[in-house]
Amino acid sequence: MTRRRRPGTRRIQAPPERSLLRRLLEPTDLYYRFLTIPWSVFFGLMTVSYLVFNLFFAALYRLQDDSIAESHNTFANAFFFSVQTMATIGYGEMRPVTTYANILVSVEVLLGLLGFALGTGLIFARFSRPTARILFSRVAVVTRYDGQLTLMLRTANQRTNRILDAHVSLTLARDVVTAEGRDVRRLYSLRVERTHSPMFSLSWTVLHTIDETSPLLGATQQDLVDNGDELIVTIVGLDETLSQTVHGRHVYRAHDILFGRDFRDILSETEDGTQVVDYRVFNETFDTESEAE
C-alpha cells in the first residue's frame, strides 16, 4: 500500500513476521487456520502429527519389556504395533500381554478415533467450501464509452455453470489528509452502470462513468499513484450447482489502471448461434488514440 509521507516524518520498522508454525499453533482460531492454509501445508502437518503420535506411543510401549507379544522388544515393532492399534487394524501377530500395555492400547484407540474423526471433518470441510472461479482482468482501463469518460474492468465466470443473482460493487481506497493533518485511508463507493446480473455465465464488463460525482474526475495516472489509490471489486452471487453463496474479489493498484486504452472484444458467435468467449485476448488492450488514427 502506497502512503504519502509529509516532510519531517519517520518510517517505523514493523516487527518481524511470526513464522507460519507459530501462527498456526496459536490456541485461538485453529479451525479457521486449518481451513485456510494451503493443501500442501495441511497434509504436511497431518503427516507429521501422525508420525509424532505413533512415535510417542511406541516409546511408551518400550518402557516395559515384553509388554507386546512377538515384538522382540524392538522400537520398530513397537512403532508398527502403535500404527495397527491407532487404526484398529489388529493383524493378530503382535498383541498386548500386560495390564500396562492394555491400558496404553485403550488410551491410544480412543485418541486415534478422535484424531481420525477430526482429520476427516477438516478434509470434508475444506472440500465442501463453496468457491467461485471468477476471472478478473489484470488491468482496468479509463476510456471513452458512449461519449463519456468511463472506468472499465472485465470479469468472467470460468465455470460452465451460472452464478445466479450476482451483484458487483466497486470501491476506491485513497489516502487523504484531514483538516487536522491526519493521514487516513478513505473508501469511496463508485457508482456502477449495472450492479446486478440475473445469470452471470460468460463475461461481465463493469462500467463506472467518471462524471461530476466521481472521485476520479480529473485524475491522472500520476494522481492515482501519489494518492496510493486502489480499486476494490467484489462479486457475490448464488452458485446454481451448490445452491450456496459464492464470491470473488480483486484489487487493482494504481499502476493497474491504464488511461487511454480499451479492451479488445472477446465475444464471438459460431454458425449455430453459440456464444464463445476467447480467453486468449481477455487481458489484451489497445491504445484508443492510435486506433482512432
Instruction: Let me know whether 43 and 143 are in one domain.
Output: no
Same domain, 183 and 258: yes
Radius of gyration of the chain measured on its C-alpha atoms:
29
To the question of pTM greater than 0.85 for the whole model, the response is no
| Same domain? 281 vs 193 | yes
Same domain, 215 and 112: no
Distances (CA, A) of 272 to 133, 200, 280: 27, 22, 22
Whether 6 maps to a domain, the answer reads no
**Side-chain-side CA neighbours of residue 199 (13 Å):** 7
Residue 2 inside a domain? The answer is: no
114-123 average pLDDT score: 92
Of 93, 128, 163, the position where a domain reaches its end is: 128
Average pLDDT over residues 43-50: 93
Which residue is associated with the grid cell 508398527?
80
CATH code of the domain containing 40: 1.10.287.70
Of 112, 128, 144, which closes a domain? Answer: 128
Amino acid making up residue 144 = R
Using alpha carbons, list the distances in angstroms from residue 106 to 3, 70, 87, 110: 60, 19, 12, 6
As for how many domains the chain has, the answer is 2
Q: In this model, does residue 280 exceed pLDDT 90?
A: no
Q: Which residues partner with 177 through β-bridges? A: 183
Same domain, residue pair 181 and 94: no
How confident is the model over 154-212, as pLDDT tens digits? 998 888 888 999 999 999 999 888 888 888 889 999 999 999 999 888 889 999 999 99
Choose the final residue of a domain: 128, 156, 190: 128
Helix (H) or strand (E) run with residue 78 in it: helix 75-86
Instruction: Kindly report the CATH number assigned to the domain that includes residue 140.
Output: 2.60.40.1400
Q: Are residues 51 and 97 in the same domain?
A: yes
Q: Name the pLDDT band for 244 (thresholds 50, 70, 90).
A: confident
Residue 63's domain comprises 20-128
Q: Using the CB atoms, write b or e for 199-228: b if 16+ within 10 Å.
A: ebbebbbbbbbbeeebbbeebeeeebeebb
Q: Are strands 257-259 and 140-145 parallel, antiparallel or unpaired?
A: parallel
Q: Are residue 243 and residue 141 in the same domain, yes or no?
A: yes
186-196 burial string, b = 16+ CB within 10 Å, else e? eeeebebeeee
